[in-house]
């Protein structure tokens, strides 16, 4: 007897009519039809249908239940379990010569291979599914399989073969407008990847015609975005603006946030080309806000999926308990449930602790009031990879000396371990500079290294290499003299003249120079028993000079069209290009460039990022 507690009303209603083959068929049919609208209930129904079918030794019912479970598990990204269920379902469908089920199951298996990046096996599934759907006269399924096969060839880089299948699909007499819309869209994407931008436009326009006729607003919105980008590739900026405007209006009506953020980013790039920087920044800010919303919604969706998976596991557990009818096992399962609740509470406690750690770290970082005493024109671009950061920034003003002191540091690790080191580093800087009144950068770093080694008991432990890379600056504001010392992190000063320091980069269009002051090639921490005193560098600065200190997170970020590092050379070009802007605007420009670089390469943030810019007054 199936336990009917905690199941959806429609499932309960079907089961209560009686445990027989007709009701199992109804349960399986409804589970399959609901798979796109309510994944959790669909899986729940399929799981119970499998149990009922097993009790009656009803093979067809077992096969159809496994088919739905395979689909749902694919959607939950549990690819191994999905393949297991779908393979068992396929075996039953083939044994019973159920061609419709066989094709549907092959389609699901092909989707799993798609997400695993296994295009060879994906293609085998596509072709077999195509063959069966043609044989049984499943016209809608057949046209969809033609498009799926073309997409697989497209992802394999075999554009000629892909076009062959797309053209067969679009000329198939019973193909629906929605499928045609996707075919024309894919043909446009192929031409875009070939760099044939003139050929892209007609295909995308046809896609819009078909998707509009099919009332497929999602496809229309996606196509308008790509059409707008293509107009930009062709240099037709007015058409690009008009098309993106139409796409943004549709995306806004649909509430399609992924498309909205892409449109705003495209507008930002467009207005940047026009030289309309206020509009470019406005659209980039909107893009960033929507991106955060999408990120939060994705987290909520992940939590919802985890909840569904928990419910699925609960169904499995309860079914096993009932099947075994063993009180001792039930007690064991209850104990597991109790342990699970304890683990969940501990996980919540850990999560809450990390959030609280973020508040503590934020309080340790220097306040705006401290930076205001150093200078009014500045920016701090601080982007932790996780909730808390191994990078940190620090500042202190000494009024009796008119000294402005600041530091940018990159500690070993990121996340929680890095955050512990960053808080230790900030506390030790307070002890050395604020309490100990030591204002010479090289001496500060020597003392900082000694205290870190002593605090972490690192002497003689060659395997333990906790420490930090850091730049520290002391600006004597009364004499406009800057002192600097660094561990791996060099300092850049952009000025209208070359200062005769370690190195410089000249930029003729702006008439500016990046003066490079190199750091010592050793960390603040143990260094193979070869620690040397840090080097003091002293030089003059003047009003309008801009001083930049940064960790390696920005320049080491992978991205761009070729998935490569950003590099210092590119950062230098970026800083030269925005010297006509205020420092707060430079922060927005750098942030936008960093996000664009990651998006172009489809890369996630690899490390914490901290960049501080100061203008000499």
Q: Dihedral of CA 38/39/43/49: which sign?
A: positive
**Length of the chain as a residue count:** 617
Phi, psi of 394 (to 5 degrees): -150, 145
CA dist 87 and 82 (Å) reads: 8
List, in sequence order, every beta strand (DSSP E) within 262-376: none
Question: Residue 352 — pLDDT band, cuts 50, 70, 90?
Answer: low
Segment 130-172, tens digit of pLDDT: 999 999 998 888 988 999 999 999 989 999 999 999 999 989 8
Question: Residue 416 — pLDDT band, cuts 50, 70, 90?
Answer: low
What pLDDT is recorded for position 299? 44
Nearest in space to 436 (alpha carbons), one of 419, 420, 454, 451:
451
CA dist 27 and 17 (Å) reads: 11
3-state DSSP assignment of residue 76:
coil
Share of the chain above pLDDT 90, in %: 51
Look up residue 318 and give its two tokens.
């309860």
Segment 561-617, tens digit of pLDDT: 888 999 999 999 999 999 999 999 999 999 999 999 999 988 899 889 999 999 998
* Cβ neighbours of residue 272 closer than 8 Å, sequence gap 6 or more: 280
3-state DSSP assignment of residue 1:
coil
609-615 sheet: strands from edge to edge: 378-383, 609-615, 546-550, 491-495, 512-517, 503-507
3-state DSSP assignment of residue 335:
helix
Segment 5-19, tens digit of pLDDT: 567 888 888 888 888
Whether the model pTM is above 0.75: no
6 burial class (0-12, 13-18, 19+ CB within 10 angstroms)? Answer: exposed
Nearest in space to 593 (alpha carbons), one of 575, 608, 612, 615:
575
b or e along 571-609 (b: 16 or more beta carbons within 10 Å of the residue's beta carbon)? Answer: bbebbbebeeeebeebbbbbbbbbbbbbbebeeebebbb
Q: Dihedral of CA 74/79/85/87: which sign?
A: positive
DSSP 567-583: -HHHHHHHHHHTTTS-H
Q: Dihedral of CA 246/247/248/250: which sign?
A: positive
Side-chain-facing half-sphere of 258: CA atoms under 13 Å: 7
> Which residue shows structure tokens 């044989």?
135
Share of the chain above pLDDT 70, in %: 85
Highest mean pLDDT among 115-119, 487-491, 525-529: 487-491
403-411 sheet: strands from edge to edge: 391-398, 403-411, 468-476, 481-487, 537-540
What pLDDT is recorded for position 306? 45
Segment 221-262, tens digit of pLDDT: 999 999 999 999 999 989 999 999 999 999 888 777 878 888
What pLDDT is recorded for position 567? 94
List, in sequence order, every beta strand (DSSP E) within 311-402: 378-383, 391-398
CA 269 from chain centre, in angstroms, equals: 20
């Amino acid at each position: 007897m199936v336990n009917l507690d905690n199941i959806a009303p429609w499932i309960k209603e079907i089961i209560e009519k009686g445990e027989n083959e007709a009701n199992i068929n109804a349960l399986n049919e409804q589970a399959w039809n609901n798979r796109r609208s309510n994944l959790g209930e669909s899986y729940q129904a399929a799981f119970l249908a499998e149990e009922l079918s097993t009790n009656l030794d009803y093979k067809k019912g077992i096969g159809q239940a496994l088919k739905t479970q395979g689909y749902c598990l694919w959607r939950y990204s549990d690819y191994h379990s999905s393949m297991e269920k779908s393979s068992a379902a396929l075996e039953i469908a083939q044994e019973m010569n159920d061609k419709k089920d066989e094709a549907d199951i092959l389609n699901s298996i092909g989707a799993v291979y798609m997400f695993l990046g296994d295009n060879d096996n994906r293609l085998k599934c596509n072709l077999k599914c195509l063959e069966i759907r043609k044989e049984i006269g499943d016209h809608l399924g057949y046209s969809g399989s033609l498009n799926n096969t073309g997409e697989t060839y497209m992802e394999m880089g075999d554009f000629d073969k892909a076009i062959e299948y797309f053209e067969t699909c679009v000329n198939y007499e019973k193909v629906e407008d929605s499928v045609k819309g996707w075919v024309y869209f894919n043909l446009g994407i192929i031409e875009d990847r070939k760099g044939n931008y003139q050929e892209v436009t007609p295909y995308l326009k046809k896609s819009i015609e078909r998707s509009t006729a099919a009332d497929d607003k999602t496809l229309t919105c996606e196509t308008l975005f790509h059409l707008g980008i293509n107009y930009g590739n062709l240099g037709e900026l007015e058409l690009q603006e008009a098309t993106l405007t139409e796409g943004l209006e549709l995306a806004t009506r649909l509430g399609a946030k992924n498309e909205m953020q892409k449109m705003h980013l495209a507008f930002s790039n467009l207005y940047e080309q026009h030289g309309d920087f206020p509009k470019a920044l406005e659209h980039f800010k909107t893009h960033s806000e929507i991106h955060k919303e999408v990120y939060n919604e994705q987290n909520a969706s992940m939590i919802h999926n985890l909840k569904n998976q928990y419910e699925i596991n609960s169904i499995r557990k309860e079914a096993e308990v009932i099947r075994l009818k063993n009180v001792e096992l039930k007690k064991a399962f209850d104990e597991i449930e109790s342990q699970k609740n304890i683990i969940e509470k501990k996980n919540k406690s850990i999560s809450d602790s990390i959030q609280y750690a973020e508040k503590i770290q934020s309080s340790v970082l220097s306040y705006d009031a401290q930076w205001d005493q150093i200078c009014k024109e500045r920016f701090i671009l601080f982007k932790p990879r996780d909730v808390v950061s191994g990078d940190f920034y620090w500042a202190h003003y000494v009024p009796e000396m008119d000294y402005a002191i600041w530091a940018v540091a990159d500690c070993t690790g990121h996340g929680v371990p890095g955050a512990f080191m960053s808080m230790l580093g900030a506390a030790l800087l307070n002890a050395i500079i604020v309490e100990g009144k030591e204002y010479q950068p090289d001496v500060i770093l020597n003392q900082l290294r000694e205290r870190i080694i002593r605090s972490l008991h690192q002497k003689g432990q060659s395997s333990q290499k906790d420490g930090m890379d850091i730049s520290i600056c002391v600006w004597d504001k009364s004499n406009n003299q800057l002192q600097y010392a660094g561990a791996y992190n060099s300092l850049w000063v952009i000025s209208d003249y070359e200062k005769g320091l370690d190195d410089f980069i000249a930029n003729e269009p702006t008439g500016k120079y990046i003066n490079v002051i190199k750091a010592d090639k050793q960390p603040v921490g143990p260094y193979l028993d070869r620690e040397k005193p840090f080097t003091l560098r002293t030089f003059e600065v003047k009003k309008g000079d801009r001083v930049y200190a940064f960790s390696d997170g920005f320049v080491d970020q992978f991205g761009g069209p070729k998935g490569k590092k950003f590099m210092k050379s590119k950062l230098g070009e970026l800083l030269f290009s925005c010297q006509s802007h205020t420092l707060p605007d430079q922060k927005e420009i750098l942030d936008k460039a960093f996000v664009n670089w990651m998006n172009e390469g489809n890369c996630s943030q690899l490390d914490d990022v901290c960049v501080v810019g100061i203008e000499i007054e």
